[in-house]
């Protein structure tokens, strides 16, 4: 074991297909704790067969970065250091060796890494990337009041926090198709709507108008996504859809645009349109109507 004072914490739900890859990636470098959200497949069995520790933890609220989960994990981890990741994330040997060097130096308490994405089997370079605390000592991240797509608040002194150069990164292997990614976007934006105020989600109209230019110019061209070809453009477009949908839902919440309210407004519009239609008296059952009989039915 290369880093005996480190535990890789892998969050799972029905990950029997991908978990063996994660175990192969990290088992030579430290302990592995699989934090499982009550999977219904063989995820926990595989973890135990491969010598991993297993912690059952209900993922309340739809995301793992909360204080209750952190407390449960810290109680289960037997090392000073933890490295948090999902089952669709891997780290190459050069980054792990640099991580080992940094931990052994004892100069830092929190080590942040950037994550880079693969979509539809292609590397997307710097599209939709961001730094996040990955390896950290216990009690150095405060997850109280944390929200989805945030990673708590670092409470270690600034001089004890290190940002690894972006050449060392977490490989995020997105398994979604476009259809399943849109389902994920719908689920995540619903969670965002529950935990954030409408004003946090809504964006002014100029921002929405500029989003397509950001997706094409900033993400795809300036950040090197063009080297990822069509797949990188697809990911950039989906990230734009996420931002748009989040803003639209924020606007709906702020303006009270529920399904019932929209139906009410549509009825008012319908009444306005129908007022332009000339009214007509309802004819009596016999007015202007002729009865015909087929020959076989006449007496």
For residue range 177-226, what is the model confidence (pLDDT) as tens digits? 999 999 999 999 999 999 899 999 999 999 999 988 887 788 888 878 88
Q: Whole-model pTM?
A: 0.87
User: How many CA atoms, within 13 angstroms, populate the side-chain half-sphere of residue 221?
Assistant: 7
Of residues 88, 89, 119, the one with CA closest to residue 237: 119
Where helices occur in 196-285 by DSSP H, the ranges are 198-201, 205-213, 229-255, 259-274
Tokens of 110: 């929190």
pLDDT of residue 286: 58
Q: Which residue has the tokens 């192969």?
A: 24
Of 42-46, 60-64, 155-159, 288-292, the least confident = 288-292
- What is the Cα Rg of the chain in Å? 28
pLDDT tens readout for residues 47-92: 999 999 999 998 766 677 788 889 999 999 999 999 999 999 999 9
User: What is the tens place of the pLDDT at every residue in 246-280?
Assistant: 999 999 999 999 999 999 999 999 999 999 998 86
């Amino acid at each position: 074991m290369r880093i005996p004072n480190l535990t890789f914490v892998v969050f799972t739900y029905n990950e029997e297909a991908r978990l063996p890859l994660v175990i192969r990636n990290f088992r030579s470098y430290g302990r592995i704790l699989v934090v499982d959200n009550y999977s219904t497949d063989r995820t926990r069995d595989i973890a135990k067969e491969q010598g991993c520790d297993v912690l059952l933890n209900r993922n309340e609220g739809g995301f793992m970065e909360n204080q209750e989960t952190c407390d449960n994990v810290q109680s289960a981890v037997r090392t000073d250091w933890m490295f948090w990741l999902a089952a669709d994330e891997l780290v190459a040997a050069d980054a792990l060796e640099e991580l080992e060097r940094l931990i052994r130096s004892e100069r830092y308490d929190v080590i942040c890494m950037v994550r880079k994405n693969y979509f539809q089997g292609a590397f997307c370079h710097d599209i939709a990337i961001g730094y996040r605390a990955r390896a950290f000592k216990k009690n150095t991240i405060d997850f109280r009041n944390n929200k989805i797509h945030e990673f708590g608040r670092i409470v270690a002194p600034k001089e004890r926090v290190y940002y690894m150069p972006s050449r060392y990164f977490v490989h995020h292997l997105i398994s979604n198709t476009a259809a399943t990614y849109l389902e994920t976007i719908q689920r995540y934006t619903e969670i965002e709507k529950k935990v954030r105020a409408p004003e946090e989600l809504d964006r002014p109209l100029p921002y929405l108008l500029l989003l397509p230019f950001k997706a094409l110019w900033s993400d795809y061209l300036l950040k090197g996504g063009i080297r990822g070809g069509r797949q990188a453009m697809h990911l950039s477009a989906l990230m734009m859809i996420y931002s748009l949908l989040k803003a639209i839902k924020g606007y709906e919440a702020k303006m009270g645009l529920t399904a019932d309210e929209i139906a009410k407004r549509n009825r008012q519009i319908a009444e306005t349109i129908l007022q332009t239609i000339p009214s007509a008296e309802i004819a009596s059952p016999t007015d202007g109507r002729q009865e015909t009989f087929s020959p076989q039915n006449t007496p």
